[in-house]
Amino acid sequence: MRNLFNFIIRNSHWLLAILLIAFSLYLLFDNNPYQRSVFLSSANRVAGWMYSASNSVVSFVHLKKSNQLLMEQNAAIESELVQLREQLDTRLVADTTGMEAVIPDSIGKAQFEFIPARVVNISYSGVNNFITLNRGSSDGVKPDMGVISQRGAVGVVSNVSDNFAVVIPLINPKFRVSAMLKNSENYGSISWDGNSLSEVQLGELPKHEVYQEGDTVHTSFSRIFPKRIVIGFVSSIGKSRDDNFSTFNVRLATDFYSLQNVYVIKDSYYEEQKVLEEALLQ
């Protein structure tokens, strides 16, 4: 018995090592993003604060490019505004002479709201890519909300703390979203093969799908994104896992290297739709 105790005492640092390694492995494989505590991710207060501090320096480097983008977007919105105004004018004239029996709701409830956020950290050095945003639950951000940039889809919120949120981007192998070509009715699934930060794969499309290089790929049915959010553009035909479906390589619309400003999409009907759909599953 005494020998046993001696043995344990003499080798207890091995026991400690085994315990700690076991704990690390537990963290490693217990990767359910919803169960994982916010404390152990970059959404925690200290990490988030440090990332914002360093980002306030780094963002100067991208200032020129961001400005350019904002101006482009401004121009696009401006032209859309003019167009809509014209349409509205013509409609108003036509409508007043038209049917009056049905009065449409004058202020329809907007389904989607956009919460502007800034990227405080982005990792793209490995397989586990993620983005940290400077908006959290106190700004109304919740897990499962979609995130877009001025150019296109970015990812989905996974963890949220009071002031920060962690986003799983399109360039993460865990990310899946349903998508379709612009001029088609078939939808497939977007995934990432880990090879390039500017390309994702659109798979599970029927073999007969017609495509041209440069075709726009946008979201289809999804609880995360509204319909018709641009994801990217077809660049080439990719390797298929089996012969029944084809896979396309898609050049991403969002440039993850210089991502600074994003919008988190708040869907006011999200809960309602989720409850309804999940009631069926039970």
Residues making contact with another protein (CB under 8 A): 13-14, 16-17, 20-21, 23-31, 36, 39-42, 44, 47, 50-51, 54, 123-128, 130, 166, 173, 194-197
Min dist CB 41 to another protein, Å, is: 5
Q: Of 116 and 173, which has the nearer Cβ to another protein? A: 173
- Phi, psi for 171 (deg, rounded to 5): -90, 55
Min dist CB 266 to another protein, Å, is: 23
Min dist CB 280 to another protein, Å, is: 31
Min dist CB 154 to another protein, Å, is: 16
Q: Of 23 and 221, which has the nearer Cβ to another protein? A: 23
What residue type is 15 in one-letter code? L
Q: Where are the alpha helices (DSSP H) in the chain?
A: 2-10, 12-29, 45-58, 63-97, 270-281
Cα atoms in the Cβ-side hemisphere of radius 13 Å centred on 166: 24
In this structure, the number of other CB atoms found within 10 A of the CB of residue 111 comes to 12
Q: Of 125 and 212, which has the nearer Cβ to another protein? A: 125
Q: Of 140 and 194, which has the nearer Cβ to another protein? A: 194
Q: Of 168 and 181, which has the nearer Cβ to another protein? A: 168
What residue type is 55 in one-letter code? N
How far is Cα 50 from Cα 55, in angstroms, rounded to an integer? 8
In this structure, the number of other CB atoms found within 10 A of the CB of residue 3 comes to 7
Q: Of 47 and 154, which has the nearer Cβ to another protein? A: 47
Min dist CB 43 to another protein, Å, is: 8
Tell the burial category of 244 from Cβ atoms under 10 Å away from its Cβ (0-12, 13-18, 19+).
exposed
Q: Do residues 133 and 147 make contact, with C-beta atoms less than 8 angstroms apart?
A: yes
Min dist CB 27 to another protein, Å, is: 3
Q: Taking Cα atoms as reference points, which of 170, 179, 156, 145 lies closest to residue 255?
A: 170
